[in-house]
Amino acid sequence: MPTIVSVDDSTVPGEGSSRLLLLVSSDNKHIVVEEDIMSRSRFISKQVEGFEATSQRHAILLPFSSFVLNKVIEYCSHYRGYYLLEDDPDAAPPGRSPVREWDQEFLDVDRNMLLRIIKAAHYLEIKSLVGSCARAIADMIRGKTTEEMREILGVENDFTPEEEHSPSSKCTG
């Protein structure tokens, strides 16, 4: 859970059309962002609702680095004001619809960064970003052999010979 700390008004610069939020990354970088931008995050929205019960302004401490946080903010800024079906709580499970072109370019990052972004998106409850990242990871391993998948993902074969040849294994391929 993030730590919520009280901050002075002076910590938060200027008033815009939207209220401002202070997000603090795990590397202790303070990032001010309009509430509107982050409204795609159900986690942030719930936090803000909590703030409204008190008159104080707050900062939200997040368990990932500023680099990752900035990427998430970039995503949220791009889709600011847009309705994305995947963010709808009643949305259908993943389908065959293609990845949005912008998302494809946005997620053209290395494997570890992609995994960090998806974890952050999951933490912040941004379903559309989780979906896009998941699709990108699925695309990364699509059409590959098991060995190739392991190589791409950096994991080792940790099955015992019995597990590899058990009946249940045969039922998984």
Partner 1 sequence: MSQLSRLDREIATAQHAFIALCFLRNSHTPVSRLPSEILTHIFSFFRVSHLDPPDSPCFPPSWIAVTHVCRRWRDVALSSPGLWTNIVMNNKRWMKATLARSRNAPISLHLELTYMGVRTDPEVVWVALSHARRVKEISFKGSYLDPYLRPLFKLAAPLLESLHLCDKSSSFDLRKGIFLLGQAPKLQSLKLEGCIVNWNSPLLFCPTLTLLSISFFDRAPQHRLSAVGLRDILMALPNLQYLTLHNMIPTPMSTLEDPDAKIHLQQLKTLSLSTDVATDIMGVISHLLVPENATLRVECNAFGQGYQDSPTSPEVPLATTLASFYETTSMSNSERARTDGYHAIGFASPDNKYTLVAGTCYPLLSSEQPDPDHPYSSCSTLWDPEVSLSVAWRNWESSNPPIQSLFQFASAFFPLSNVQTVFVDCFFFRRPEFWWTVFGKMKHVKRLVVSDNLAFDGFVRALQGEGNTSGTAQVTESHAMLAQLLPADRKGLPRLPHLFPALTHLTVEGVDFERQEQFEALLDVLSYRCFKRSGLKRLSRLYLRKCNVRHEHLVSLAGCISHEGVDWDKRRRDAHAFSKPKIRMLDELEENTYFFA
Q: Which residues contact partner 1 (rule: CB under 8 A)?
A: 93-96, 111-112, 115-116, 118-119, 122, 130-131, 134-135, 137-139, 141-146, 149-150, 153-161, 163, 168-169, 171-173
Q: Using the minimum distance from each CB to partner 1, give the nearer residue, 58 or 119.
A: 119
The token pair at 101 is 């072109």
What 3-state DSSP class applies to 31?
Answer: strand
Q: Using the minimum distance from each CB to partner 1, give the nearer residue, 66 or 128.
A: 128
Strand order across the 4-6 sheet? 4-6, 58-61, 20-24, 30-34
Q: Least CB distance from residue 111 to partner 1, whole Å?
A: 8
Q: Least CB distance from residue 161 to partner 1, whole Å?
A: 8
Q: What residue spans of the chain are helical by DSSP H? A: 35-38, 42-52, 66-78, 101-106, 111-123, 127-141, 146-153, 161-165, 167-170
Q: Least CB distance from residue 114 to partner 1, whole Å?
A: 9
Q: Using the minimum distance from each CB to partner 1, give the nearer residue, 59 or 117.
A: 117
Q: Least CB distance from residue 165 to partner 1, whole Å?
A: 12
Q: Please enumerate in sequence order all residues whose Cβ is within 8 A of that of 15, keeping only pairs 6 or more positions apart, or say none.
A: none
